[in-house]
């Protein structure tokens, strides 16, 4: 982000201060993306009257990182456009780092819990799509800023984040149906019978695999759980 700032307004001896924003944002992500997010998810589960948490219960935690990312875009774009102090640029970078890292942590947990039978494939797909999308938005960022100005470009980023934020309620209410549909398609494409709804995040057992053609990995998982219960 600091590469987009005017080089003559940032003293060379202060160019490494962006590392402080990474340290501070990591601390915030550790607290909110971990401890606080888990407590909020369990609270949503109790409010919904569920004994087991479902993946969608973690989605309300995305409110804070989405707001942080939009605030960061507004601060950074304004600071760059109006030539404000470098401390304002660093503040914008801090909010952007908090938003991106926290949202990635929560979404990664959501996707793994949505498809617990394919955690490796899910992580590969999420990482791949994140790389493709980030490349599309950042590859020509410097050129866009020079042509349109930072205020316009970061305003576009805010609009994109707002649209993406509107999809969160859709996933919260209809994500379970989407998981059922996509889970069945993945199972059939892998040569298995549809594994049924992945409605709850539980340890693999016979209930989860009831009525499905078990793969070798599923059978081993069940046997490990059963042996662990005996001890």
Residues 97-132: tens digit of each pLDDT: 999 999 989 998 898 888 888 888 888 888 888 889
Query: Quick one: pLDDT band at residue 206, thresholds 50, 70, 90?
Result: very low
Q: Is the pLDDT of residue 231 over 70?
A: no
Q: Indicate if 44 and 114 belong to the same structural domain.
A: yes
**Which of the residue ranges 57-66, 128-137, 169-178 would you say has the lowest mean pLDDT?**
128-137
Q: Indicate if 177 and 206 belong to the same structural domain.
A: no
What percent of the chain is modeled with pLDDT above 90? 36
Alpha-carbon distance 83 to 81, whole Å? 6
Q: Indicate if 208 and 161 belong to the same structural domain.
A: no
Q: In terms of residue numbers, what domain contains 217?
A: 201-231
DSSP string, 58-122: GGGGGHHHHHHHHHHHHHHHHHHHTT--HHHHHHHHHHHHHHHHHHHHHHHHHHHHH-TT-HHHH
Q: Indicate if 155 and 206 belong to the same structural domain.
A: no
Q: Indicate if 148 and 68 belong to the same structural domain.
A: yes
* pTM exceeds 0.95 for this model: no
Averaged pLDDT of the chain: 78
Q: Is the pLDDT of residue 197 over 80?
A: no
Q: Indicate if 191 and 206 belong to the same structural domain.
A: no
Confidence at residue 95, expressed as pLDDT on a 0 to 100 scale: 96
Q: Indicate if 143 and 224 belong to the same structural domain.
A: no
Number of domains comprising the chain: 2
Q: Indicate if 44 and 149 belong to the same structural domain.
A: yes
Confidence at residue 188, expressed as pLDDT on a 0 to 100 scale: 54
Q: Indicate if 174 and 224 belong to the same structural domain.
A: no
Which carries the bigger pLDDT value, residue 48 or residue 2? 48
Confidence at residue 221, expressed as pLDDT on a 0 to 100 scale: 44
Q: Indicate if 110 and 222 belong to the same structural domain.
A: no
Q: Indicate if 96 and 210 belong to the same structural domain.
A: no
């Amino acid at each position: 982000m600091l590469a987009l700032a005017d080089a003559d307004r940032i003293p060379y001896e202060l160019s490494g201060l962006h590392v402080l924003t990474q340290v501070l944002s990591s601390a915030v992500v550790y607290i909110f993306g971990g401890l606080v997010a888990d407590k909020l998810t369990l609270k949503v589960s109790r409010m919904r009257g569920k004994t087991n948490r479902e993946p969608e219960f973690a989605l309300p935690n995305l409110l804070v990182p989405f707001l942080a990312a939009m605030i960061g875009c507004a601060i950074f774009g304004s600071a760059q456009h109006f030539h404000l102090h470098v401390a304002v640029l660093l503040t914008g970078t801090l909010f952007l780092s908090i938003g991106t890292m926290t949202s990635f942590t929560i979404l990664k947990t959501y996707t793994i819990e949505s498809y617990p039978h394919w955690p490796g494939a899910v992580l590969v797909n999420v990482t791949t799509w994140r790389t493709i999308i980030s490349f599309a938005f950042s590859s020509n960022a410097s050129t866009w800023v020079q042509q349109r100005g930072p205020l316009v470009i970061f305003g576009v980023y805010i609009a994109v984040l707002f649209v993406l934020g509107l999809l969160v309620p859709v996933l919260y209410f209809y994500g379970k149906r989407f998981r059922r549909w996509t889970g069945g398609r993945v199972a059939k494409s892998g040569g298995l019978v549809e594994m049924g709804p992945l409605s709850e995040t539980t340890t693999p057992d016979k209930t989860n695999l009831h009525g499905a053609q078990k793969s070798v990995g599923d059978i081993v998982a069940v046997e490990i759980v059963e042996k662990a219960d005996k001890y």
